[in-house]
Amino acid sequence: MMRMERWLAARETLALWSILVAGFVFRLGWLFLRPAERLQPHESEMWRVAVAFARTGTLADAYRPGSGISSHVGPFNTILAGMVYRVFGVGTLPSELIMAVGAAAVAAALFWALYRVAAELGIPIVPRLAALAFVSLVPLNFYSEVVDFRIREAAFAAMIAALGLLRLLQMEKSGTIDLMRLAGFALLAAFAFLINPAISLALYAGIAWIALRRLPVRGWPAGVAIGIAAFAIVNGAWIARNYDVYGRFMPSRGNFGLELDTANHDAAVDPADARAVFIARSQEIHPSFSDAALARLKTYPSDVAYFDVLGAEAKAWIAAHPGAFVGISLRHLRELYFPPRWQWNLYGDSPQNAVAAKQALKWTITALALAMLLIGLFERPRLWLYVALGFALPTLLYMILQPTLRYRYIFEGMLVFLAAALVGRLVQRIAGGRASSSLTSQQ
């Protein structure tokens, strides 16, 4: 094992980039195995808004053409995709290929950042490279990464989270922080909020923990001012747009009430068929899922007004059923990390053997990873705290909603690296025990 580690360490850069490039090429090659299916647009709320932006310059029509101005999705990915569509055409092969290349590049950047995080955590080179090869080359999430995530933000959010975690670990190990470093990180955390507020919470918590311990007290007011200024710089245009459209301060998307009401209601308490309940609830209240829900939305002055009503409905139900809410949330916690089979068949009918294999693999990875996280927190709490925050704070938000595999993706890569770290430890211990037994027998 030591000999292999030394051999790989001497060739680490070559191995790292070879795997990343191979993963990038494999994803694009995978598209051309079935181009008629995989190089078509993946229709979603974000795709519809991107199309509307390409044609009209507005962030609108998330639910159907003509459904109006929308706050359902964030601006960054949709505007970027809309600009590609405006230049190269909506749904054309050049447009979809350009965005697929971008999505594959984001995946490669995510994996590079996770590899660097693993190095900062002290995970040896063999399990690091094994994990990198797994996430890069095993086609477990290829459809999501280069079809669904051409516009959807999950992989981009995961990349920002990994870069933020890497920077937190580096600052923690350096033992110092100044206002310039704080300003750079504040911009990254503010950008994370624009993309995915859940991961932004973890980044803000991490930098606050460092600043409270390492920044002199006299520097705290300046640090807070820098954080506020960075948030305003990055999110100001989106906040101004929302105020202009909806007449209120709204720093993020407006669809939280919809998601909360989708997850918390009587039928969700103890469902015999969770997939059927989720689809039925979506058809009842989600304007993308049914004409009836869209018609109900149109009776309100805006989608945000409709979502406010749904949110109030959900909060009233939670207040009246606190025990049921806790039970639903705990079930969602389990589904987030140990996804049930129905999540692979949420909108389709995948072969059961394939689903069973994917489920078993993801459950195993999660169990190993969580065990490694506990070990890391025990052995090196100063560093592993940031990893725990990266899991815990987004989880607290996602567990009160209905998680899907897309939500889980922001954790997926980190789980693989942690699982590989534990497997590497076990292999090393077994190999060490055998070597010790061999030496004893020779004596």
- Cα(330)–Cα(355) distance, integer angstroms: 23
Instruction: Please state, in angstroms and as integers, the Cα–Cα distance from residue 274 to each residue in 265, 310, 348, 402, following that order.
Output: 13, 21, 15, 10
Look at residue 11 in the predicted model and tell me its pLDDT. Answer: 80
Q: For 335-366, how does the pLDDT look when each residue is reduced to its tens digit (9 = 90+)?
A: 999 999 999 988 777 788 889 999 999 999 99
pTM, entire model: 0.94
With a cut of 70, list the residues of the chain below it in pLDDT. 1-2, 432-443
- Cα(278)–Cα(401) distance, integer angstroms: 11
Q: How would you write 266-306 as a 3-class SS string?
A: HHHCCCCCHHHHHHHHHHHHCCCCCHHHHHHHCCCCCHHHH
- Show me where the domains of the chain are located: 255-443
Look at residue 360 in the predicted model and tell me its pLDDT. Answer: 96
Q: Are 113 and 163 in contact (CB under 8 A)?
A: yes
Q: Are 241 and 253 in contact (CB under 8 A)?
A: no
Q: For 238-282, how does the pLDDT look when each residue is reduced to its tens digit (9 = 90+)?
A: 999 999 999 999 999 999 999 999 999 999 999 999 999 999 999
In this structure, how many other beta carbons lie within 10 angstroms of the beta carbon of residue 116?
Answer: 18
- Cα(253)–Cα(50) distance, integer angstroms: 16
